[in-house]
Amino acid sequence: MANVAVIGCGYVGVVSSACFAKLGHDVTCIDIDADRISALRMGRSPIYEPELDALVQEGLASGRLHFLDDYPDQLDARVVFIAVNTPGSQEGAADLRAVRDAVATVATRIGPGTVLVNKSTVPIGTGEIVHGMAHRNGNGPFAVVSNPEFLREGSAVHDFLHPERIVLGSDDAWAIDMVAELYAGLRPAIQRVDIRTAEMIKYASNAFLATKISFINEMAAICEALGADVREVATGMGMDSRISPHFLYAGLGWGGSCFPKDVRALTHMAEAHGAHPQLLRSVSEINHHQRLRVLAKLRSSLGPLEGRRVLVLGASFKGNTDDTRNSPALELVRLLLLEGATAVVHDPVVRPERIAEGAPGAVCAASILEGADGAEAAVIATEWDDYRELDFVNLRARMARPLIVDARNLLDGRAARAAGFEYRCVGRPGEEGLPFPVTPALAVPTGVER
């Protein structure tokens, strides 16, 4: 079993470290956030992720998992994974400062023959930058491998331990072999490619998944205009194995720490290199419209939203995670506040400080019913299981007006209506077609194919 280091103890870093330790490797995980490291040393994961606390505790007890809040003078690892954050910059490009800092430091602490692995999602060409930096700063030769991560928050441990594929890109076949060996216990399908192709596979995968969601959201808008049910449409489409049922849920649109920044970064890279990413631009535009369409539904039931009290159920960007980065739910809350509404937010796991940070001015509710007091509408904004079976009777008794906008198509609409609610949802019969904002440049004259 190998000595492995992981730089960055965030969603990807902690999950990868704990899982590699479970596979029998000796893992040192380093982060510059001392609070994060002290929590991890006590067996507490800094993020909400099913199964992760137990796995971290198991790793610590086995003696194979170590957490450091500083880089040791000498890092005894044959393979070093870089799993630091690569947020989007103002113009859309990925911000590589954390990667550069991590590589510049770690290169001075490792010996010749060490393999540096980019697990962070990085722009195409970053492998070459890392290679150059490592050689300038350290005692090479080093090899660089791109190993993009495909785990999903909310089921990250499961995804890591049951990979559908491991993508490994490098010019050095021996380095790919060394990284592949770390995953051998999982018997994954391994795709060996050049480093730029590996980097591109990650962006193309996220862009495709975002496209699938925007596609079904566009179908939902058309269903509303034509009186069809998008849920049944998605079911019918999803039974076709060429399409698959995944990522075909109409709703408030995509968000999170990856899709928005990765779609923007890919669009930016394409534009900067003379390509024409017209599909990607539309995918982002449709996504933004999903939030506006929910506001339009609220307005069409309540009139102007100024002074209205709206309960928003959910703050995380999807269920089973406490991650609020680019959360569609919080984006909706900010739009409500901009219109002068009082937004009351409930989430089963997101802490009130995070909600206040993501949507300053929002009121936090400790329970669903507390948040319902005096509300004129309740919006389901995140698909938490806690919201699937709402207590309609008590909810109705606490609300000032019985209106539910189910922006995730989560509820049994008939049960809600039977309990006396006006029930609005996305792309299903009974939802009137709302005018879809069409930018002139995208308008296609009738009869013209494209």
Contacts to ligand NAD by CB under 6 A: 7-13, 30-33, 36, 83-86, 98, 101-102, 120-121, 149, 151, 153, 257-258
With respect to ligand NAD, which residue has the nearer C-beta, 15 or 312? 15
- Residue-wise burial string across 175-213, b where 16 or more C-beta atoms lie within 10 A, e elsewhere: bbebbbebbeeeeeebeebebbebbbbbbebbbebbbbb
Question: Whole-number minimum distance, CB 262 to ligand NAD, in Å?
Answer: 7
Exposure string (b/e) for 239-252, b if CB count within 10 Å is 16 or more? eeeeeeeebbbbbb
When the beta carbons of 101 and 373 are compared against ligand NAD, the nearer one is 101
**How far is the CA of 253 from the CAs of 124, 290, 313, 314, in angstroms?**
26, 6, 15, 14
Select which of 19, 258, 364, 425 is catalytic: 258
Judged by beta carbon, residue 118 or residue 214, the one nearer ligand NAD is 118
Find the radius of gyration of the CA atoms of the chain. 24
Q: Which is nearer to ligand NAD, 8 or 402 (CB)?
A: 8
> Which is nearer to ligand NAD, 95 or 171 (by Cβ)?
95
Residue with smaller CB distance to ligand NAD, 30 or 145: 30
The distance of Cα 49 from the centroid of its chain, to the nearest Å, equals 13
The residues near 299 (Cβ < 8 Å, ≥ 6 apart) are 305
Sheet with 190-193: strands ordered across:
65-68, 26-30, 3-7, 79-82, 115-118, 143-146, 166-169, 190-193
Specify burial of residue 409 (Cβ count, 10 A radius: 0-12, 13-18, 19+): buried
Q: Least separation, in Å, of the C-beta of 106 and ligand NAD?
A: 8
Q: Which residue has the tokens 């930096």?
A: 133
d(CA 420, CA 395) in angstroms, rounded, equals: 11
For ligand NAD, the closer of residues 81 and 421 by Cβ is 81
Most distant CA pair in the chain, distance: 71
What residues pair up with 380 in beta bridges, in sequence order? 313, 406
Residue whose C-beta lies closest to ligand NAD: 10
Q: Is 425 a catalytic residue?
A: no
Rounded to an integer, what distance in angstroms lies between the CA atom of residue 358 and that of residue 330?
6
Alpha-carbon torsion angle 179, 180, 181, 187, nearest 10:
150
d(CA 28, CA 17): 8
Query: What stretch of H or E contains 148?
Result: none
Catalytic (active-site) positions: 258
